[in-house]
Structure 1
Amino acid sequence: MNKNLLILGAGGHGRVVKETAVAMGYFNKINFLDNQSELSIGKCEDIRQFYNNYSIAFAAFGDNEQRMKWIEELIEIGFQLPILNHPNAYVSPLARIEVGSIVCAKAVINTNAVIEKGSIISIGALVDHDCFIGEFSHINSGTIVKVGCRIDRLKKVDAGMVYSNKNILDNYRFEVGV
């Protein structure tokens, strides 16, 4: 099996995915499929044509529903879905991260946290111990998911928010600026 990665989606999130994949130093070749980008080598709907040259694929769409649709398609075709973990992120050895997920630079996944399939843990997000992040969720930049929280599947938690078991605490919302 080759170690070539095909990324579906060459937008902002797709480029973050590629940078993370490059930083990992694992893949031999990395290319995009996208319907509207000059960076791509083809269109997303032509994915089956690339199966023989790319054994690994990653759906890099910020839209949770679209990411779910493509991950299900990639699995059906037979692609291997990686877990992309930026080398500058911290992931506890006791955490569990499922395929098709990305942990971006400076993110923290603490002890016994579970990140289900197809989730995005954006730059600088903190997922504390014993949290559960449901399938195809997006924990955006700078978000803090407090101890023992459960995030439902397909949920997006906005940037800079503090997420508690019962609600999002807007009083503790912060924005990180330059």
Structure 2
Amino acid sequence: MNSSDLPILILGTGGHARVVADALLCNGQQIQGFLDPVPQFTEWRDIPYLGTDDILSSFSPDTVRLANGVGSVPFTDTRNRVTEKYENAGFSFCRVIHPSAIIAADTKLAEGVQILAGAIIQTGAVLGKHVIINTGARIDHDCAIDGFCHIAPGATLCGSVRLAQRVHIGAGATIIQEIDVGADTVIGAGTTITQSIDSMQVVRSPEVVTEARRG
């Protein structure tokens, strides 16, 4: 069986997990069930909750694929830790691409990338492992987005923006062209960024204030 035909297990049962599941279903993918240590339902759209993540010990990595339904929230690393745990155990994570997304043909997408409904990605963009391009986000030409970044709903990256690992761009934020943003920085919702930002910073609106992250 081709790996792209393997059934999918979704990690998580929260809102992001359901959005991921919906995108997969829109593409005709087979979802075997949800896993979560603290489940929010027992069944969703006829797809069962199967148990905690411990159930993965009963699956061989070459018989299923994983989809990460753990949301990306600033100042937490749960999504990253879950991903690394199961990659180290040999499991692979599928890409999740909603059919309504517009993606230039030369875009480069790493493993586990998630591109959700209404997102637009223009020519020359490069997306690292497990990047989330959330609902209606816009990525213009030649942007480079490193692993585990989250571009929240409605955010815009203009041309040739470069994000280091684990950057969070809040909902509705705008990064103008040719800006660099350092690793582990959080850009607050609605903020407009007009100059490059170092790593481990928090930038927020309405008056743009930059401060070092704590923790």
Query: What range describes the TM-score normalised by the shorter chain of this pair?
Result: 0.7 to 0.9
Following superposition of structure 1 onto structure 2, how do residues 102-113 of structure 1 map, counting pairs within 5 Å? Answer: 102-113=114-125
Unpaired segments ≥5 residues, structure 1: 174-178
Structure 2 match to 1:29: 31
Contact 1:7 1:58 in 2 (8 A): yes
Q: How many residues align?
A: 173
Q: Residue 129 of structure 1 aligns with which residue?
A: 141
Question: Higher relative contact order by CA 8 Å / sep ≥ 6: 1 or 2?
Answer: 1
Counterparts of 1:81 and 1:92, CA distance in 2? 22
> 1:147-168: per-residue Cα shift (whole Å, max 9, x none)?
0001121111000010131676
Distance of 1:11 and 1:47 partners within structure 2: 19
Q: What TM-score do the two structures reach when normalised by structure 1?
A: 0.87
d(CA) in 2 for partners of 1:112, 1:30: 35
Report the alpha carbon displacement of residue 171 of structure 1 after superposing the two structures with TM.
5.4
Indicate the structure (1 or 2) with the bigger Cα radius of gyration: 2
Tell me, yes or no, if the aligned pair for 1:97 and 1:115 is still in contact at 8 Å: yes
Answering whether residue 67 of structure 2 is matched by residue 51 of structure 1, we say no
Name whichever structure is richer in strand by fraction: 2
Which residue is equivalent to 2:126? 114
Alpha-carbon distance between aligned partners in 2 of 1:73 and 1:166, rounded to the nearest angstrom = 29
Q: What is the CA deviation profile of residues 54-94 of structure 1, one whole-angstrom value per residue up to 9, with x for unaligned ones?
A: 51002221236222222222222222221111110011111
Question: C-alpha distance in 1, partners of 2:180/2:129?
Answer: 23
After superposition, the C-alpha distances for 1:112-153 in whole angstroms (9 at most, x for unaligned) are: 101100111001000111001110110000000110001121
Please tell me whether residue 89 in structure 1 is matched to residue 91 in structure 2.
no
Instruction: Compute the TM-score of the two structures, normalised by the length of structure 2.
Output: 0.73
User: Higher helix share goes to which structure?
Assistant: 1
Gaps of 5+ in 2: 43-48, 182-186, 194-204, 206-215
